[in-house]
Chains A and B, each alone.
Chain A
């Protein structure tokens, strides 16, 4: 929907609401107005009652006088005297006037002559006709407002015809009780304060005012109406008839051309007089529309509109941002797929191509062998790529979780060194791995992820270091600010190609690879650093990098890792002198520290010559070193030569250990020939030194198993639960190579059935696939563990393509004893079998 339509919609809604409020207010105002008009009308009727009572009261006084004058047979003068003495109110006067001459006497003297009481109505016309004056007591005989001929005051008069006894005989006269209009106006007040602007009038049937309010114009109400209100004769007549005959109200325009209400009601006792009450219409319409309310509603709606509009704008900006991100993600996905396509197809191309070549050269074992090695390399690369992709997808989806276990950092480092050695050897890299103050061997963390972090960094260093370069690893245990933790500092420095600052800014993004003419041939997924960084952050650690193009790179990773509850028992050697010989000052120093911590006195020599001298000196002093530890590679005299000199010149029997950076198989024969009693690989862990020195001194003798001797495992019978025929064929064949026999269960249910029926110790262990039809490996394991035979204790190793750490944890939780990820590495399989066998024998 377009933004403009939303704005239009909002404005229309606002207008509709305002319209509703105004209409509603108007309706309420109209109802209120109608109520007030009704009230005004009722008040007018109430005033009519009051007026009627007043008129009847005043007429009653006049009637009493009349009765007395008529019955007492008074003359005009006597009657005036009587009335004068009967007066109560100062403002009220009376005139007694002969009907024929229209002259008579007043109760008050002429203002200009105190002796003169005469009064004349001859020029007023008021008494020309007396028919309007009814019989005494029958009606109210009220005159119109007229000018008092005596003092020019405007008055009304209550009248009666009387008969006075004059010397010439009875004469008809009129008694007029005069009430000043000013008096009437003061008394005649509309009885409700809310109608304070009301003015009242009394009119006769012809519309002539008897009493006239100020806003009533003209001498006649009907003329007044016609003057300011248009209409034809019929309409006028209809209005006038309504006013004269009914109680109600009419609307009209007054002399100011403003709308007004005239309430009208007949004054019952007067016959045909009508009481009129006038009020401007505006007085009754005090608040038809509450503009303050409208204002507030408008302002509120506008604020709401502005707020909504601003929110909408902000929302749109967010949507835009999200759209850009989505577009970028889509682009990234496309790039990712493109990259994946490329990166997967490249090793696949090698695998397929080399397989084809091998098939065609089956008669040339050397070429086939070379091709197969290359195929294996490509397969391994492909596997790494797939693992990395799965990892990064988990990282990005936020599903990467840690599965902490207790593990040995020594094993981790050994594994790390072992893994790196093939490449180190291949590229002839000067590799050193230093361990500093590693006192805690067992830690509690996600070992797989920690391995992954360390391997990624180290393999990158080796990968991007040219042949003959140097890679140095420094693993250091430091104190941590977190309780129960140590801080592991892992620093990997290389003299490789280094990185540009530009690349360093994006090196943690997936599929970022340094492009350099020297590394074009280097294969990598470009995911390693991205995964590493995510994992380090997941473990609340830090990763830092310093790099310079052409000079090398240093990665520093610091992780706070909890110390496991389980630690190796207190390691102390018998007090003795130990000589350690190495040109590496750091190694010498750390090794000396470690040995000292084991309770021995360590002396150091920085080369073979010095070592020989020290041994000789010791010999001369009648002392002996109980153990001599000699590095293989030294500048002045290598380790083998040094051992040979020691054996030939000084001590034939002293146990000598040779330090080797990694695999010592190349020099093993030569060294043994020279007199070396054992080998120890770098880095020199405390536990390793403890056990091997004890071994040398005969405390515990352990033979070094040759790598290709598998007699210990030959003849084992293993049950393999595997639904896939090819996988079964591969694993069974591989195990067969080591003299291990295997039986197959095609799914979990069959596996359980076999184990339920199996004779005791018929199978040494079970390799259990996880995803299988009918019953999966986890359920099968649980069922086996529930068996009440020996089978419930059989070691079960997961052999599955579910390779994530949570999968491993799931397997262990189900009751398995280990986990091997597919594709299987036969070395790992053999290692796992041996581990199980050893654990079994210990038990």
Chain B
């Protein structure tokens, strides 16, 4: 008994004395990342882009500061980014890292911008890009890697998983299954089993439905893109599947235009409408999905009756869906910037799979790593076989083609144009 009390007394003392130790601020080492430079290095790194809000990147700054506490990192949004970035890179206050896009390739006005970019494939930099899905890495004509993807995006539909469970249905994997599910939901009284923001030809989310089907068709027909670009009349066959499937949904009133027109924009309104809880499937882009987390608390309906949801690929045909994998944001390093060594160190840190996943998770965009399972919302895409993953590079997709497709789809749904007419319109436009 005596020993017991003595031990208690000693424990009290040890606890008290132990508590006396000054709190030590230790430099943490992020798992999997070992710093190459002196962690006490003090410098500034500026990242510029056109995002108003880049919280995910700012979170990465905070993580980097756990290792390099004296490095001041800032993100600055430049007005009129695409036009000003070249000037910014030439100025005295040039950024260390700047956002770039694949479409900048081949355009003279962005040549200076790309010329400032460091070759990120240089082994000396030690960047581990093997974890990034290869289709997302853009290379210049010389094979130089001017930019590395930070986020990816794709097209699909937000699915109310709880609703499907409640109705005893499975999320459709193939196009016939989609029709069956829509039919059953229609029978159960859902006005519009599938919803999509129609807006106008520019702002419509319809291409999120048609693009995967269209890309699948292109992917299956390697000659297709050439014919489309050349406006070959035979090219109508490549756009027809996407238009026909849209037409089928419209004709069966599975996609109710009147109901969908109640949504006022292609982002906030779409998310809030989905959070009402009575929408089985909401067609949208991955960018829209990125806004869901923040709006969970803003939606009174969702806050009152939360449900589980996911972002599923659009069933394209009888065999399943295609995953059209595109970059959303890419970073280039200004090879002429101050503190280039630390800038590359930050890129090395950022390109580690773990940090990219964190970034995607915060932004709720599709990660650029090969691991698609870490975010349950995007996990349905992880089940798509590699053979049905299509990259921009793989099919040589052009922005103009996407615009033509979007207009064709809009014409079918909102302008009463027939599939043939819309397909012909798609082909007749000069994409060159």
* A contact residues vs B (CB 8 Å cutoff): 3-4, 7-8, 10-11, 14-15, 18, 111-112, 123-126, 146-147, 149-154, 182, 214, 217-220, 223-224, 226-227, 230-233, 255-256, 291-292, 294-295, 297-299, 302, 305-306
Q: Tell me if B's interface is mostly helix, strand, loop or mixed.
A: helix
Query: Please, how many angstroms separate the alpha-carbon atoms of A124 and B78 in the complex?
Result: 10
A194 to nearest B CB, angstroms? 19
Contact A255:B58 (CB < 8 A) given known A152-B87, A219-B53, A233-B300: yes
Complex Cα–Cα for A226 and B79 (A): 25
Chain B residues with Cβ under 8 A from A112's Cβ? 87, 90
Kindly list chain A residues whose C-beta atoms are within 8 Å of the C-beta of B58.
217, 255
State whether the Cβ of B169 lies closer than 8 Å to any Cβ in chain A: no
How many angstroms between the C-alpha atoms of A149 and B78 in the bound complex?
10
Docked CA distance A4–B370 (Å): 65
How many whole Å from A776's CB to the nearest CB in chain B? 61
Q: Which residue of B lies closest to A154 (CB)?
A: B76
- B397 contacts the other chain (Cβ, under 8 Å)? no
A residues near B278, Cβ cutoff 8 Å: none
Query: Chain A residue with minimal CB distance to B80?
Result: A123
Q: How far is the CA of A480 from the CA of B376 in the complex (A)?
A: 112
Contacts A232-B297, A305-B9 given; does A218 touch B16 at CB 8 Å: no
Cα–Cα, bound, A227→B12 (Å): 42
CA distance A111 to B72 in the complex (A): 27
Please name 23 pairs of A and B residues whose Cβ atoms are closer than 8 Å in the assembled complex, sorted by A.
A7-B2, A10-B9, A14-B9, A14-B12, A111-B90, A111-B91, A123-B79, A124-B80, A147-B80, A147-B84, A147-B88, A149-B80, A151-B87, A152-B87, A152-B90, A154-B93, A217-B55, A217-B58, A232-B303, A233-B300, A255-B62, A294-B16, A294-B19
Residues on B with C-beta less than 8 A from A217 are: 53, 55, 58
A219 and B74 within 8 A (CB): no
Given known A-B contacts A149-B80, A256-B62, A298 and B13 have beta carbons under 8 A apart? yes
Name the A residues within 8 Å of B8 (CB-CB): 11
Complex Cα distance A4/B6, Å?
A: 11
A298 / chain B contacts, CB cutoff of 8 Å:
12-13, 15-17
CB distance from B64 to the nearest CB of A (A): 12
CA distance A7 to B294 in the complex (A): 57
B357: shortest Cβ distance to chain A, in Å? Answer: 18
Q: Does B31 contact A (CB under 8 A)?
A: no
Q: Which residues of A contact B53 (CB under 8 A)?
A: 217-220, 223
Across-interface contacts of B74 in A (CB, < 8 A)? 214
When chains A and B are docked, how far (Å) is the Cα of A150 from the Cα of B85?
Answer: 11
For A299, the chain B residues whose CB sits under 8 A away are 13, 16-17
Mask, B62-75, CB within 8 Å of A = 1, is 10000000001010
Query: How many angstroms between the C-alpha atoms of A401 and B201 in the bound complex?
Result: 130
Q: CA separation between A208 and B417, bound complex, in Å?
A: 43
Contact B90 A7 (CB under 8 A): no
CB contacts (< 8 Å) of B16 on chain A: these are 18, 291, 294-295, 297-299
Residue of B nearest to A216 (CB): B58
Binary contact readout B88-128 vs A (1 if CB under 8 angstroms, 0 otherwise): 10110100000000000000000000000000000000000
Chain A residues with CB below 8 A from B80, complex form:
123-124, 147, 149
8 Å CB contact of A152 from B10, B52, B78, B300: B78
Whether B91 pairs with A151 at a CB distance below 8 angstroms is yes
Residues of A within 8 A of B303 (CB): 232
Contacts of B297 in A (CB 8 A): 226, 230-232
Which single member of A124, A233, A297 contacts B79 (CB below 8 Å)? A124
Say yes or no: A291-B19 contact (C-beta < 8 A), given A4-B2, A112-B90, A147-B80: yes
Q: Which residues of B contact A125 (CB under 8 A)?
A: 79
Top 7 A-B pairs, shortest CB-CB distance: A298-B16, A152-B88, A295-B20, A219-B52, A147-B79, A123-B80, A7-B5
Q: How far is the CA of A288 from the CA of B364 in the complex (A)?
A: 39
Contacts of A149 in B (CB 8 A): 79-80, 84
Q: Beyond A124-B79, A233-B300, is A295–B17 a contact (Cβ under 8 Å)?
A: yes
Q: Are A227 and B10 in contact (CB-based, < 8 A)?
A: no
Flag whether B21 is at the interface (Cβ < 8 A).
yes
Residues of chain A lying within 8 A (CB to CB) of residue B6: 7
Task: Give how many B residues have a beta carbon under 8 Å from the other chain's beta carbons.
Answer: 41
Q: Apart from A152-B85, A305-B9, what 12 extra A-B contacts exist at CB < 8 Å?
A: A15-B12, A111-B87, A147-B79, A149-B80, A152-B87, A152-B90, A153-B93, A154-B76, A227-B55, A232-B297, A233-B298, A255-B62
B334 to chain A, nearest CB (A): 12
Does B83 lie at the interface of the complex (its beta carbon under 8 Å from any beta carbon of A)? yes
Q: Which residues of A contact B245 (CB under 8 A)?
A: none
B144 to chain A, nearest CB (A): 24
Of the listed residues A125, A152, A154, the one surrounded by the most CB atoms of chain B closer than 10 A to its CB is A152
Which residue from A14, A111, A146, A226 sits with its C-beta under 8 Å from B294? A226
Bound together, the chains give a CA A112 to CA B360 distance in angstroms of 38
Q: In whole Å, how far is A631's beta carbon from the nearest beta carbon of chain B?
A: 79
Residue of B6, B13, B298 most packed against chain A (CB within 10 A): B13
The reply to whether the CB of B1 lies closer than 8 angstroms to some CB of chain A is yes
Residue of B nearest to A123 (CB): B80
* Minimal beta-carbon separation of A221 from chain B (angstroms): 12
* Contact of A292 with B5 in the complex, beta carbons under 8 Å: no
Q: Does residue B425 face the partner (Cβ distance < 8 Å to A)?
A: no
* Residues in A neighbouring B72, C-beta threshold 8 A: 214
Q: In whole angstroms, what is the CA distance A126 to B1 when docked? A: 79
Give Cα A291 to B20, complex, Å. Answer: 4
Q: How far does the alpha carbon of A8 sit from the alpha carbon of B1 in the complex, in Å?
A: 10
Residue of A nearest to B295 (CB): A226
Confirm or deny: B42 has a beta carbon within 8 angstroms of a beta carbon on chain A.
no
A609 → chain B closest CB, angstroms: 89
CA distance A305 to B10 in the complex (A): 11
Query: A-facing mask of B21-55, CB < 8 A → 1, else 0?
Result: 10000000000000000000000000000001101
Q: How far is the CB of A586 from chain B (nearest CB, A)?
A: 70
Residues of A within 8 A of B21 (CB): 291
Say if the beta carbon of B414 comes within 8 Å of chain A: no
Query: Which residues of B sit under 8 angstroms from A231, Cβ to Cβ?
Result: 297
- Contact, CB under 8 Å: A292 / B55: no
Per-residue 0/1 for B262-298: is the Cβ within 8 Å of any A Cβ (1 yes, 0 no)? Answer: 0000000000000000000000000000000010011
Q: Tell whether, in the assembled complex, residue B78 and residue A227 are in contact, meaning their CB atoms are under 8 Å apart.
A: no
Chain A residue nearest to B20 (CB atoms) is A295
Chain B hits for A146, CB < 8 A: 79
Complex Cα–Cα for A306 and B12 (A): 13
Q: Nearest-CB distance from B48 to chain A (Å)?
A: 8
Question: CA separation between A3 and B10, bound complex, in Å?
Answer: 18
Q: B77 at interface (Cβ–Cβ under 8 A)?
A: yes
Q: Which residue of B lies closest to A282 (CB)?
A: B23
* A-chain residues with CB within 8 Å of residue B294 when the two chains form the complex: 223, 226-227
When distances are taken between beta carbons in the complex, the residues of chain B under 8 Å from A10 are: 9
Q: How far is the CA of A151 from the CA of B78 in the complex (A)?
A: 11
Contact B55 A218 (CB under 8 A): yes
